[in-house]
Amino acid sequence: RPDQRWEMQLAPIGDGRRLVHLADRSGSHAAERMRVDFVANASHELRTPLASILGYVETLSDAAGEDPAIRARFLKIVFDEARRMERLVEDLMSLSRIEAEKFRTPAESIDLAALVDKTYAELADMHDGRGRDIILEHEPTPIPVLGDRAQLSQLLHNLIGNAMKYGRPGTPIRVSLTSEEDVVRLVVADQGEGIAPEHLPRLTERFYRVDPGRSRSIGGTGLGLAIVKHIVERHRGRFDIASRLGEGTRVTVTLRSPATANAVIKQ
Ligand code: ADP
């Protein structure tokens, strides 16, 4: 295969004969390539808004910057681009923090229903009432899961945030929690544009977007689902995404309830 890498070692075993040892290094090669691609992508994503900021600041310091209308318009662009860089840096830092902790499975008992309610209130505030389109369905609190509060809150923000970004205006978003014997199932479903099947397996890759221009223009970093995937892995849970073009998308995350501290959810 083109991506296969072999390492060869020769060891003399007498009579002029040599033993050939071949080791398959394809795995580490693929990991190294992923790391290089990631650094290249992250640099590119940061460089684009930075170039724009530098260009506008330069123009602002010329005569054009003296016109109040132009000044206000350019400052707004500089602010938006700086915010884009800030979001990207925050997501990059989240990813590296979650990765650094991946071998420490979180063991705190968290009330996921209360966290869903809190996230709903925060999103409704942030989006000036657009949160009213969100329908919450869960049994009365508490619905405990084993987890890390900050990371589960980020997971909810990313999933409900995506449903709001890619959902069709005026259609509801359903967030439901069901508690089964030893697991809790979270479903976030929207009635938005949906995703073509060929993209589904790649959505949790860093910086993978179906429509990069659209994602950027609505404030996406391309890291939201990669962060979700890492959080779910750290919680030893399960992540599934199902979608139909033109109909909508449904993300299901399964987490362990405290009764099953040592159980591993079947993949
Ligand atoms: P982004 O910051 O671009 O939203 P994500 O990692 O959260 O990045 O998602 C990756 C891509 O998956 C998005 O760019 C979008 O194309 C697609 N996507 C994610 N969630 C949805 C959804 N609910 N409906 C349609 N497309 C989605």
Atom of ligand 1 nearest to the CA of 193: 25
Q: Are 114 and 152 spatial neighbours (Cβ–Cβ below 8 Å)?
A: no
pLDDT tens digits for 64-122?
778 899 999 999 999 999 999 999 999 999 999 999 998 899 989 999 999 999 999 88
Q: Are 227 and 150 spatial neighbours (Cβ–Cβ below 8 Å)?
A: no
Ligand 1 centroid from CA 162, angstroms: 6
pTM of the model: 0.86
Ligand 1 centroid from CA 110, angstroms: 27
Question: Closest residue (by CA) to atom 2 of ligand 1?
Answer: 220
Give the residue from 145, 119, 149 showing the smallest Cα distance to 134: 119
Question: Closest residue (by CA) to atom 23 of ligand 1?
Answer: 163
What ipTM score was computed for the predicted complex, to two decimals? 0.98
91 lines ligand 1 (CB under 6 A): no
pLDDT tens digits for 194-251?
999 999 999 999 999 999 988 888 889 999 999 999 999 999 999 999 999 999 999 9
Q: Are 102 and 142 spatial neighbours (Cβ–Cβ below 8 Å)?
A: no
Ligand 1 centroid from CA 179, angstroms: 27
